Amino acid sequence: MEVNYYALLFTYRGSSFRITALDSKSTKGLFMVLSLLSIVYGALRCNILAIKIKYDEYDVKVKPLAYVCIFLWRSFEIVTRVIVLVLFTSVLKAWVVIDILINFLGFLFYPWILFWCSGSPFPENFEKAFSRLGTTIVLCFLTLLYAGINMFCWSAVQLKINNPDLISKSQNWYRLLVYYMVRFIENAFLLLMWYLYKTDIYMYVCAPLLMLQLLIGYCTAILFMVVFYQFFHPCKKLFSPNASESFQEWLKCACCNRRRRESCESAENTDLRSPTDREETPSSSKISSMPSQILNTDELSSA
């Protein structure tokens, strides 16, 4: 009987190495785990590099706890996003293309839309060795990379085409909040579609529990992100305001807008009363004007 070995795992026991054969399923699982770990490590290094580029004027020292927070943040974010897309693809293969195109094209054209709305001139010769055509090609490749990263996780570097450094130095909390809110809603929608159209392959899987675990995992990624920006960011003193204050201001603005809407609706309801109600309730001006008119007619008759 022949056995096909797809991979060999070397382990050290005692004073000798032991070779263990892996079948196809365990090999695929091992390669997937290694690929995800490499992607998470790349995201971690990009985060640290982006911090050093943004705050190159300061002495940036990243603490070990900051590395741990970034690693957990990116791990939960990327892993849950990949699992959601895989589950959705397993039941609706054609529709996942539409979702990917919407995400990719949206992030691809977003930096260009901001650039066109700003009215800034086209960045020429941000690198002396590049011509206008070379600059355009480089910017196109950068936006392609930016769109590909944002499909799976929040990009550590936010492009700003009208900036000579091509990097937005400001911390935009509102954009960060909108991104994670929209991404959470999208993940929940994709999981709901998977739950409605799942096949018999998942008959031994508790689908509601799996959906809950993935959503909680994504919320955990957001929690580690907030903890990093609030406590372990090396330049957190430069934020004005910080993450918690920005979230509180956003809640206050939302509550104020809701109160304004309720007050406007109540004012409109009072103004839009039925005309019969207005006729039944005489106004004070009409009541006050009746005696003066009577007196005026009496004075004219006596005269």
Take residue 227 and report the two structure tokens written for it: 């903890």
Residues with Cβ within 8 Å of residue 60, at least 6 apart in sequence: 51, 52, 234, 235
Rounded to whole angstroms, how far apart are CA atoms 154 and 288? Answer: 69
pLDDT at 219: 95
Rounded to whole angstroms, how far apart are CA atoms 294 and 154? Answer: 79
Take residue 164 and report the two structure tokens written for it: 């000579």
Cα distance between the two ends of the chain: 134
pTM over 0.75: no
pLDDT at 265: 63
pLDDT at 18: 52
Peptide bond just before 241 cis, omega within 30 deg: yes
Give the CA count within 13 Å in the CB-facing half-sphere of 224. Answer: 18
Rounded to whole angstroms, how far apart are CA atoms 125 and 115? Answer: 17
pLDDT at 301: 39
Per the CB < 8 A criterion, the answer to whether 177 and 247 are in contact is yes
Per the CB < 8 A criterion, the answer to whether 156 and 43 are in contact is yes
Per the CB < 8 A criterion, the answer to whether 51 and 121 are in contact is no
Rounded to whole angstroms, how far apart are CA atoms 144 and 105? Answer: 9
Across 271-295, b (16+ Cβ under 10 Å) vs e yields eeeeeeeeeeeeeeeeeeeeeeeee
Cα 300 to the center of its chain, rounded Å = 80
**CA dihedral of 166, 169, 174, 178, whole degrees rounded to 10:** 40
pLDDT at 183: 93
CB count within 10 Å of CB 44 equals 19
From first to last of its 303 residues, the chain has per-residue pLDDT tens of 434 434 444 444 444 445 444 555 667 777 778 888 888 888 888 888 888 887 777 778 888 899 999 999 999 999 999 999 999 998 888 888 898 899 999 999 988 888 888 777 776 655 565 677 777 788 888 889 888 888 888 888 888 887 777 777 777 788 888 899 999 999 999 999 999 988 888 888 888 999 999 999 999 999 999 899 888 888 877 665 555 565 566 566 656 666 776 666 666 666 555 444 544 444 444 444 444 444 444 443 343
Take residue 57 and report the two structure tokens written for it: 């004027």
